[in-house]
Amino acid sequence: MLYKGYFWPRNMKYFIILMSVLFLGTMVQAQPPLQPQYPDYTFQNFQLGMNRVKTAYSKYDKVLRAAFKKKGIKYPSKHLFMRSFKSTNEFELYARNSISDTFTLIKKYRVCALSGILGPKRWEGDRQVPEGFYFIEDFNPRSNYHLSLLVNYPNYSDLINAVDKVHPGGDIYIHGGCMTVGCLPMTNPFIEELYTLCMQSRIAGQMYIPVHIYPIHFNEKGLNFLGREYKDEEEKHKFWVTLKRAYDYFNATKKIPAVMYDEKGNYIF
């Protein structure tokens, strides 16, 4: 069992999310809360007190600082964004200097293994990597997979659309190692670099780092693949249409769209 930190028990967390959906009605804001504008020294002291984190920081902080400087982006950045593509095992890291700037691609990584098939995660044990719009919710320096970053699956959309609403699954991490039953394994060196980067951004004030997970690049090649390999899966195609809107918006503007949910759990923009 991975270390869960200080969050609520799973059932209570899902109950609160579901009650929030019912209370807010037909439209729910999917964005995380506003970021504080001050350093989080308690978090910093705890993380750097862990040997794995301290080792990762000593290896990669200067490397990251140089990579950001080359791209003209301040480091540490309070404006990170990450997105991943399941079909090609790609993981992209973006950053910007201020909320009014566009995002710049800093680096690409490889996801080292993938479980399940293309399509969203809908119940516990389906081995699916989620698809949709998430953020980093917690940092685990004591992970069974070296270091890990918790993704906030299930979100409102996942809960409403889950086949099993009582057990939609959870514990979705970006982590080290090279094995998975629904997470994004990055190998130990890559997770050390990403963990250091995200930790530094959290310390600088970015409490919630967005992570968008897509089945494919929604270009001609990717769309042809979905049309050929998943031609009879109407529900998946309806879901992917909503993901494509956010994908297209980011590619055109290099900004993240404001994501909302309707009463059926559909993403709207």
Contact call for residues 162 and 24 (beta carbons, < 8 A): no
Give per-10-residue mean pLDDT for the chain (269 aa).
38 47 45 56 93 98 97 97 97 97 98 95 95 97 97 96 93 96 96 98 95 98 96 96 97 96 92
Tens digits of residue pLDDT in 178-206: 999 999 999 999 999 999 999 999 999 99
The predicted structure's pLDDT at residue 24: 40
CA–CA gap between residue 15 and residue 9 (Å, rounded) = 10
* Token pair 């759990």 in the structure block, residue: 265
CA torsion angle 30 127 176 11 (round to 10): 50
All structural domains of the chain with their residue ranges = 40-253
pTM here?
0.87
Spatial CA neighbour of 135 closest among 107, 109, 118, 156: 156
- As given in the structure block, the two tokens for residue 266 are 């559909």
Tens digits of residue pLDDT in 208-246: 999 999 999 999 999 999 999 999 999 999 999 999 999
- 40-253 belongs to CATH 2.40.440.10: yes
Largest alpha-carbon pair distance within the chain? 52
CA–CA gap between residue 110 and residue 215 (Å, rounded) = 15
Contact call for residues 118 and 216 (beta carbons, < 8 A): yes
